[in-house]
Structure 1
Amino acid sequence: MLTTGLATVALGVLALAPRLPRLARRYDAAALAPIDGTPAEAADSPLRHRLDAWVAKGAGHGATLLPWSRPAVPTPLAIAFTPASHARAVHHFGYRLAGYHQLTRRSRVGGIIYRLGVQLRPLAWFLPRRADEPWDDAWLARADEARLDALSRWLPRRPTLIVLEGEAADSAGRVAQALAHAAQHGDQPVRLLVLGKRPADTPSGVPLTPL
């Protein structure tokens, strides 16, 4: 009986071992900057539905059969652009996509439990990603050389939405080029949303969608 129990524990440890390094991954503040502030409630809009469909398309389900396998991501990087006047609606969408609203509606203890569940999610490699699972988020107003260098080395720890506005939107092509490393070597979908005109000089083969 004891031998069986020890064997079960050993198998469990072996199964989890390939996933443990993922627990150590943290939000990369050198490459990303989180959405700031709580947005005002926004009415349901056609733009929100288009954003929902865009981030989900080609994102994959995130599950794998074996703990050491990498999840399939049909479209690792996709780019979209929408007028800067949509910033408020995009802010609200990104806030909810990142799950911040889940924290505001919970108690302090409930928020801690929620955060813990998010952090431990990589251990459940066999479960498909739920529609309400939080993404990492970034809202960049500037994309200087230090930021671009960090993005060129960055790998996503979970699905990630990056929004560019202002000066960063003007540099969208360079940001997209910097994200080529994440698209090639990462195993999570990355979505780059530009608040402004159609970006130029984006990587070939990367979907570019007007919203």
Structure 2
Amino acid sequence: GLARQAGALTFVDSVHYTPHALVDVGALGCDFFACSSYKYYGPHVGILYGRHDLLNALDVPKLLPASDTAPERLETGTLNHEGIVGAGAAVDFLASLAGEHGREQGRDLSRDRREALRIAYGQLHAHGDALVRRLWDGLGTVPRVTRHGPPPGTPRTPTVSFTVDGISSGDVARSLARRGVFVSNGDFYATTVVERLGHADGGLVRAGCACYTDASEVDRLVEGVAALTTD
């Protein structure tokens, strides 16, 4: 790639990408790759992959008695053992979502976690796409609502951002919370994008569809927003 030709190293920040696509660091050909398991139902643990030769060669500060070989030379002190176990359990949870498919096919996917993950990711995409379309179309019927971002049918994650004319994003979120629907509001660190959308002061409302979200919850959200615009 261009980075290699220029003698540069490549670092992939995949915090948002990893929950939505099955990653193969070998196929990517990157030097470093980082993500966090909290994005896929795990604990707040940072995960760093690095090429073994680079991890051994990097000039990093370390204690004199620490190991000189990777990965221990980058790990100082007592490790976050419970977080590490939780991160692994989160991967197992994702793989378990393919269980029903495996049983239907008469296959034991417990012996091939990678294949189970491949199937699970496919199922999650189908599930998320259907819910996002329902949410997008539902919000489109509500007066004074503006939906932001690409429509269903284009590459996207199962998250929809929207605004309600005349009502702050915070008020929308609080109103939905009283109905038992949890959404986020603000700029979500995308400050420049939100500014260019003209919502620097109030931000956007963001609703995401997880593996456990169902159609009735999407409908409850749409009904809650509709009630706000008719009160």
- Provide the TM-score with structure 2 as the length reference: 0.22
**Could you say which structure has the larger radius of gyration?**
2
Structure 1-normalised TM-score? 0.23
